[in-house]
Chains A and B, each alone.
Chain A
Amino acid sequence: MTCSDVQRALPEILDGTPDGPLAADFESHVQSCPDCSDLVSDLNLITSEARQLAASEEPAPRVWLGIAAQLRAEGLIVDSTIREPETSAPLRPMLVPSSPRRRWSAWWLAPVAAGLVAAGSYVVSHKPAPQVAKQQGPAAPGTSPSPTSAEETPAATSDSEPARAPQPLAQKSDPPTPPRKVVEAAPSAEDQQFLSVVSTRAPSMRVTYENQLKAVNADIRETQAYVNRNPGDVDARQHLMDAYQQKALLYQIALDRIQ
């Protein structure tokens, strides 16, 4: 079995439904190939983390069913049997490429907003830490978790805020209130799409939404950086959750406005 074969077989292996010879060949190759071994290890980690997320933060099935029904109604997804009758793969809904003649819809904002809340909940609740011990036993200034930590989001790693490195609670006896520095970061794909939609549907509100979006993103980055430095601070985690909810609220308000 080659590395390419391993990559092709990965989904089946991770689903836990490999046949006998395939599993044996797979194991044999992974044990002898460091690259594939790392890949499998990483994917197993992601899979297990995703299961935890699903167990703790998964909305009720009716939420997903409702979203799927709405997306179908809007024509954004169809069953793969309709578009690819020749495929033998399991039936899954698939995205429909947008057509310039089709009426534009902003319903994608709803799952994005829900996703933001779920992501915020996950980030906040994912890594429990001994909060009291952390607060009373301060970490070293500037300490940050490993780059592979689940909390280390791209947004958090991209912000370099040396002037505003907060100290642990017990060490901050009388520090001055630092000036708020908004660190600009490249907008995510969802944010770009969001602003693009606003430009199309409510051009007069584009600047307003863009400014609000920058502000909530700055809040998220700022709080995320603080949480990274003080992972046991329950208050900080709650503020991070609040910041994500603010972003979800912005998406929801836009959704209501630009229907």
Chain B
Amino acid sequence: MVRVWQKDLRETTAVTLALATCLSAAAVAESIKEYRYTVGPSATISVDTQYGAISVRSGSGNQVVVTATLKSDKVEVDHQQTGNRIEIASHLLPGADQQTGQVDYEVLIPPDATLSLRSSTGPLSAERLQGDLTLEGTDAVVNVRNVENGHVHVRTMRGPITLTDVRNGHVEIASISGDVHLKSVTGPLVQANSGSGKIFYDGDFGSGGDYKFSTHTGDIEALAPADVSADFSAHSMMGRVQNDFKLQPRHSRFSVEEGRSFFGTVGKAASKVVLRSFSGKIRLKQR
């Protein structure tokens, strides 16, 4: 009986030691690095990684703080400051793959900085910023939140894109098959195009902007309040359209085609809204 107990104890100890060794090795392989920079007004910051998340928020003052979590020693971080420009990039070493080559970044920047983010896998997120933003990814999920007064350019291959609370923005979004969600997004120009992805808009279309959403096969759905002020134009070449609003007719270069298009204004037509799809459905819904 005692021998059996001793044997069990030895086995348990061996397994525990093996696990501890593995965990400590993993802990050693993963490393965290922090970089700090001082910049002037309207700095330009770019972060580029093949694999990994990039999360950017506004920090305090004129400081840029980059925290990089490297998943292994098969990847390095190249960083450089040239005047008011900062470039951060992951650098894969031989043998790196999607797991070992991953670097996750958390970045704090001045709110007025111009920002460029690129990651194949993502996710990419930016919030509480006022400068120009460019976010690019292949499969990356993209989230932009609480941004104002800047240009917001996003492009992905498959990654879904969500913009929330973007005010007075010049927004241009392009995706091949990713869905696009826009919630409370307004500005002088808001443009989204997706091939097979869907486009959802939930907002009031501001007070004087151009909004253009287009897809090839993806559906388009816009949800607006009853007191919206916009000039609507919707047309699906081979899909269906649906409209909850009572539109005031206006002259259009197109003849209205029942079920395929609608045109007209609501309120004072402050903004222009164009919804176009080749074969997707278009729905304009009243909130």
Contacts and interface: CB of A to CB of B under 8 A. Distances in A.
A34 B156 CA distance: 53
Contacts of B196: 215
A180 B138 contact: no
Contact residues on B (Cβ < 8 Å of other chain), bracket:
35 or more
B257 A212 contact: no
B283 to A, nearest CB: 14
B58 to A, nearest CB: 26
A257 B259 contact: no
A204 to B, nearest CB: 8
B255 A257 contact: no
A135 B255 contact: yes
B14 to A, nearest CB: 37
Interface string B268-287: 00000000101101000000
A257 B92 CA distance: 13
A212 B157 contact: yes
A15 interface: no
A164 B214 CA distance: 21
A32 interface: no
B250 interface: no
B214 A132 contact: no
Could you tell me the dominant secondary structure of chain B's interface residues?
loop
B176 A212 contact: yes
Contacts of A173: 257-259
Nearest to B174: A249
Contact of B235 (A131, A219, A235, A243): A235
B214 A215 contact: no
Given A135-B254, A170-B257, A253-B136, A212 B177 contact: yes
Contacts of B239: 177
Contact of A226 (B98, B136, B195, B237): B237
Interface residues of A, number: 39
Count chain A CB atoms within 10 A of each CB in B136, B138, B240 and give the residue with the most: B138
A257 B240 CA distance: 37
B71 interface: no
A257 B138 contact: yes
B120 A257 contact: yes
Contact of A136 (B98, B255, B259): B255
Given A180-B279, A239-B278, A249 B155 contact: yes
B198 interface: no
25 contacts: A169-B260, A173-B259, A178-B238, A215-B195, A216-B176, A216-B195, A222-B278, A223-B278, A226-B237, A226-B238, A234-B253, A235-B235, A239-B216, A242-B193, A242-B214, A243-B195, A245-B174, A246-B176, A246-B216, A249-B157, A249-B174, A249-B176, A253-B155, A253-B157, A256-B118
Interface of A: 131-132, 135-136, 164, 166, 169-170, 172-174, 177-178, 180, 204-205, 208, 212, 215-216, 219, 222-223, 226, 233-236, 238-239, 242-243, 245-246, 249-250, 253, 256-257
Given A169-B260, A250-B176, A253-B155, 18 more contacts: A131-B253, A132-B253, A135-B254, A169-B254, A174-B259, A177-B239, A180-B279, A208-B157, A208-B158, A236-B237, A239-B237, A243-B195, A243-B216, A249-B157, A253-B136, A256-B118, A257-B50, A257-B138
Question: Nearest 5 CB-CB pairs, A to B?
Answer: A219-B216, A246-B195, A239-B278, A253-B157, A169-B257
